[in-house]
Chain A
């Protein structure tokens, strides 16, 4: 089955620790995205990557970092610099030439 996987589904971390969220896709999509979702806030774009070894900041990139070493993978690191990291994080991907984005199931991060 083709799709996007995010792991883990729930993640707990202590304040001050960095944490990396996984996103993998086997759809052969070129572009990948990370969004953050807070209640009543909709989706806000953190980072996106149009192609391997390239990525751009979205609207709320501060306190986050990404890498795109492989086409299938786009991990997101939530650093200790992120002031309020507790949220639901969604990864998405898209094939070039098409605007439709396919979403993973999300990771709920709770920082204690």
Chain B
């Protein structure tokens, strides 16, 4: 199966919260990342979480990590139309990996006014 899995689409109304989910497979991953890609652009790092943490909050973004289930989520509070983009979850490979990242296929978030 895929190393990192995400649902492909999510649609929310402006002002609602968005929750994007991700599952990964490498239990030795030290860091997990969320990247944002706007149309026709490169990827921009949104936030990351170290594997010994359960939660990380950064302004409107909350990352939850369930290491037992290898489940990662990104919550965006008060979603705005400018949040419309593709969101990628990524895990770092285990030790000795030389820092390569494994990306999910991305979740396209559509925010309706």
- CB within 8 Å of B: which residues of A? 4, 6, 31, 33, 35, 40-43, 45, 48, 50, 90, 92, 94, 96, 98-106, 108
Contact = CB atoms under 8 A, between A and B. Distances in A.
A43 B42 CA distance: 11
Contacts of A103: 35, 42-44
A-B pairs with lowest CB-CB distance, top 5: A42-B105, A103-B42, A99-B92, A103-B43, A43-B103
A50 B41 contact: no
6 contacts: A4-B42, A42-B103, A42-B104, A96-B99, A100-B48, A103-B35
A16 B66 CA distance: 48
Given A31-B98, A105-B42, 13 more contacts: A4-B42, A40-B8, A42-B104, A42-B105, A43-B103, A90-B43, A92-B43, A94-B99, A96-B99, A99-B30, A101-B45, A103-B35, A106-B41
A106 B100 contact: no
Nearest to B30: A99
Nearest to B103: A43
B24 interface: no
A98 B42 contact: no
A40 to B, nearest CB: 6
B99 A31 contact: yes
Given A48-B100, A99-B30, A99-B99, A43 B88 contact: yes
Nearest to B6: A42
Contacts of B92: 99
A96 B43 CA distance: 20
B61 interface: no
A100 B47 CA distance: 10
Contacts of B103: 35, 42-43
Given A45-B100, A50-B98, A99 B31 contact: yes
Contacts of B35: 103
Contacts of A94: 99
B17 to A, nearest CB: 24
A98 B45 CA distance: 13
A33 B100 CA distance: 9
